[in-house]
Structure 1
Amino acid sequence: MIVNIGNEPYGNQNHGTWAGDTSNAITRLRAADLDHTIMVDAPNWGQDWTFTMRDNASTVFAADPDRNTVFSIHMYGVFDTAAEISDYLGRFRAARLPIVVGEFGHNHSDGNPDEDTILSYSQANGIGWLGWSWSGNGGGVEYLDLAVNFDPNNLSTWGQRLFDGANGIKATAKEATVFGNPPTTPPPTTPPPGGCTATYTITNQWPGGFQGDVRVTAGGSAITGWTVRWTFANGQTVNQSWNVSLTSSGSAVTARNVDWNGRLGAGASTSFGFLGSWNGTNAAPAVTCTAS
């Protein structure tokens, strides 16, 4: 069981006390012998546009003697670009703090969320999410209903996207072991000694453009920095990147860590993303990784 201590308890005022109040609430719950996972929502109606939760998450996490608190970001109009989504979630990953997208939709009165990136980035990086919401919305946000009149056989356009689309429920969901036979656990793999490796993935593609994700993994010992290189063979170009310092020279691309994601423990991973252009063919290039 997960205990959410408050659904969007802080709006756009008085959120400066969020960190202290949340830490105090966690401490009191633990003192009352509640050892459940505790979920805490960001202020600003969950969207944290002031970065209050992002910048104080480590302090709140440290206040939990069980170290069993997960942070919940609600992604609506504030998160309408791939860069904003990947940067926010990436900072929690780099800090090794648990994060979930506790709510998100395909549209909202404050802007058009980038649901495709939310789903693809979460899937690529093992982040949980809750699509909002099943049915019964009112007050002008009925478009957030996944099912029409609670009927599972009558999904809305949003419901069809979340259930049947790329990185959606049908493509990614796994049955909990309490409902069936436990899955077969593959044998553990040993990371290569020293150095680092990198994996290039095209997470989304459309005519003339695409989104890429590169995962960097340390070898058998810790590293303090990394550099990833590749050469496009089909004329692709990078237009925008996040969580990385990236430069291009013709078709050659060099990507170096930024200040907060260069240090990786043995076998640990981080990732960065980018938006690019293509025409004709968009083959994934071979990548190399050099550690420092």
Structure 2
Amino acid sequence: MRSRTGITPRTAPRSARRMAAVVAAVLGLLVPLLSFATPAQAAATGLHIQNGRLLEASGNDFVMRGVNHAHTWYPGETQSLADVKALGANTVRVVLSDGHRWARNSPEDVAAVIAQCKANRLICVLEVHDTTGYGEEAAAGTLDHAADYWISLKDVLAGEEDYVIVNIGNEPWGNTNPAGWTEPTIAAVKKLRAAGFAHTIMVDAPNWGQDWQGVMRANAQTVYDADPTGNLIFSIHMYSVYDTAQEITDYLNAFVNARLPLLIGEFGGPGDQYGDPDEDTMMAAAQQLRLGYLAWSWSGNTDPVLDLSIGFDPTRLSSWGQRIFHGANGIAATSEEADVYSSSGGDTTAPTAPGTPTASAVTSSSVTLDWAAATDANGVTGYDVVRVAGTTETAATTTTRTSATVTGLAPETSYTFAVYARDAAGNRSQRSGTVAVTTSSGGSSASCAVAYRVSNEWPGGFQGEVVIRNTGDSAINSWTLRWTFPDSQRVSNLWGGTATQSGADVSVASASYTATIAPAGSVTLGFTATKGSTNPSPAAFTLNESACSAA
């Protein structure tokens, strides 16, 4: 998808792609995938394809439910693998570089990534990102160069067929002559097989992964037949092109009906700069068809609207992250751990109970809890914080740390909290002791100044930034910022707080990490919004019902 170095062009305008689709249909480029023939398959060694399904060595289906993680740009964020596992993922797609465009990930680094995936009982999809947009992106590398990189890692990858899928190259063709994708893809697959690779190989679509001209859809059978092992899976990246349910279900069903293996290797949610993809249908259809999906991406995007977690912090999920992990057809509700871990671990012993939590930093809408760590012979992988009301428990948050901030509480309300520990096998501890908390009455009055600016703009939408400064002598706690848009603008996504909008009136409640503004300090909000033909700025702002000056 997008690198941290900039925003990748995603597709032609909607009218252009509609016309291109018509022309492609006339030329026969979108022919149905009717052939059910498959090449003779080698004996299964780990993950493998059979009758269009991804199976484990056990013979059971493996349906990927996970996220993408930008390891090559953030090599120090290794805790991220444990964090996404603690939130329920069974797979992580790891961004690597073959050295063509970014710093090459060494064999030692890749071996460490695989070890971390295995330690956290995750299936590891490894991908080379340097190929992104080849043919249109001048800096992109070739699939052949990527294949050579994988061959240089053969000693690291050998024997990992149960745990690792090799995604040859990310989005290896742009919008320029996407028909050129087919032959290099076949050649790269054959090169890896000739080198002795028995792993499941994943291939991405052209058109920056979105295949809006139907090249992968039309040529998938040919590419699949070129793999002598039949151990090949196709990956579609669903962003702004896929903004209707019909487009999504038509594409996915074309592969399923042809018994050709497919997953959604990347997808984004509301606020996509180039449109509004229908992520609800993507997730529902993937669940109905038992197809994998891997959301983009954990954290660190140039455009933070795509971050599932804010600042690589699993306790600060964005609205996009909440949707992916905890929403309908989300990871928590649909993910199943790979058999290779469940059957081989044999761990049935639960961790010890965590210590009774203590409460601090209590505001009108949040509280921070800390507790003593639990212990487990094979390691504690995460904690579940719950609200307790009599015999009823309600999930509050999950974390891999021994501290968490619970948000979304009501002012002047009593709550009781407790904590459970989990290990890598999914065993859950006994509940900790409980702590009672009563939230405060509400936000303090404010002496404030607000700066508002449009940081990016495109037809029908824009990205904005709001900086709130504390001009008083005491801290501002648990604030609510309000403004009125003058010309039908509407917030589609916001980070740094929780936004609600009624007509033109916008209200933003502070997040746990922006709730306190020290004297002379400031916090920054970012958002994306829709607009009409003009985009005038709001005339006034209030913070906790106090008028703010212009900064």
TM-score, structure 2 normalization? 0.32
Q: Does 1:148 align with 2:310?
A: yes
Contact 2:172 2:181 in 1 (8 A): no
Could you tell me which residue of structure 1 aligns to residue 181 of structure 2? 18
The one-letter code sitting in structure 2 at the alignment partner of 1:43 is P
Q: Does 1:177 align with 2:330?
A: no
Q: Counterparts of 1:94 and 1:53 in 2: how far apart (Å)?
A: 15
Contact 2:185 2:223 in 1 (8 A): yes
C-alpha distance after superposition, 1:215-244 (max 9, x if no partner)? xxxxxxxxxxxxxxxxxxxxxxxxxxxxxx
Q: Counterparts of 2:312 and 2:324 in 1: how far apart (Å)?
A: 15
46-55 vs 171-180, which moves further: 171-180
Shift of 1:179: 3.6
User: Secondary structure of the residue that 1:64 maps to in structure 2?
Assistant: coil
C-alpha distance after superposition, 1:39-84 (max 9, x if no partner)? 1000000000100000000000000000011000000000000000
C-alpha distance after superposition, 1:172-223 (max 9, x if no partner)? 01122344457xxxxxxxxxxxxxxxxxxxxxxxxxxxxxxxxxxxxxxxxx
Q: Counterparts of 1:105 and 1:129 in 2: how far apart (Å)?
A: 11
CA RMSD of aligned residues (A): 1.4
Could you tell me which residue of structure 1 aligns to residue 281 of structure 2? 117
The one-letter code sitting in structure 2 at the alignment partner of 1:128 is G
Shift of 1:159: 0.3
C-alpha distance after superposition, 1:226-283 (max 9, x if no partner)? xxxxxxxxxxxxxxxxxxxxxxxxxxxxxxxxxxxxxxxxxxxxxxxxxxxxxxxxxx
Could you tell me which residue of structure 2 aligns to residue 161 of structure 1? 323
Counting only pairs closer than 5 Å after superposition, residues 211-222 of structure 1 correspond to structure 2 as: none
Counting only pairs closer than 5 Å after superposition, residues 1-292 of structure 1 correspond to structure 2 as: 1-107=164-270, 108-138=272-302, 141-181=303-343
Q: Counterparts of 1:8 and 1:101 in 2: how far apart (Å)?
A: 13
User: Secondary structure of the residue that 1:154 maps to in structure 2?
Assistant: strand
User: Secondary structure of the residue that 2:316 maps to in structure 1?
Assistant: coil
Q: Counterparts of 1:54 and 1:181 in 2: how far apart (Å)?
A: 36
Q: Counterparts of 2:249 and 2:178 in 1: how far apart (Å)?
A: 24
TM-score, structure 1 normalization? 0.60
Q: Counterparts of 2:312 and 2:277 in 1: how far apart (Å)?
A: 24
Q: Counterparts of 1:146 and 1:69 in 2: how far apart (Å)?
A: 29
Could you tell me which residue of structure 1 aligns to residue 80 of structure 2? none
Q: Counterparts of 2:338 and 2:199 in 1: how far apart (Å)?
A: 18
Q: Counterparts of 2:177 and 2:251 in 1: how far apart (Å)?
A: 22
Contact 2:307 2:318 in 1 (8 A): yes
C-alpha distance after superposition, 1:118-173 (max 9, x if no partner)? 000000111000011000001xx210100000001110000001111000011101
Contact 2:233 2:262 in 1 (8 A): yes
Q: Counterparts of 2:289 and 2:171 in 1: how far apart (Å)?
A: 25
Shift of 1:15: 1.6
Could you tell me which residue of structure 2 aligns to residue 231 of structure 1? none
User: Secondary structure of the residue that 1:70 maps to in structure 2?
Assistant: strand
Distance 1:149 1:71, change over 3 A: same
Q: Counterparts of 2:304 and 2:244 in 1: how far apart (Å)?
A: 23
Shift of 1:2: 0.7
User: Secondary structure of the residue that 2:297 maps to in structure 1?
Assistant: coil
Q: Counterparts of 1:149 and 1:7 in 2: how far apart (Å)?
A: 24
User: Secondary structure of the residue that 1:101 maps to in structure 2?
Assistant: strand
C-alpha distance after superposition, 1:62-116 (max 9, x if no partner)? 0000001100000000000000000000000011000000000103111111000
Contact 2:205 2:211 in 1 (8 A): yes
User: Secondary structure of the residue that 1:25 maps to in structure 2?
Assistant: helix
Q: Counterparts of 1:114 and 1:42 in 2: how far apart (Å)?
A: 19
Q: Counterparts of 1:109 and 1:77 in 2: how far apart (Å)?
A: 8
Could you tell me which residue of structure 1 aligns to residue 49 of structure 2? none
Q: Counterparts of 1:111 and 1:42 in 2: how far apart (Å)?
A: 20
Please identify the structure whose Cα radius of gyration is greater. 2
The one-letter code sitting in structure 2 at the alignment partner of 1:159 is G
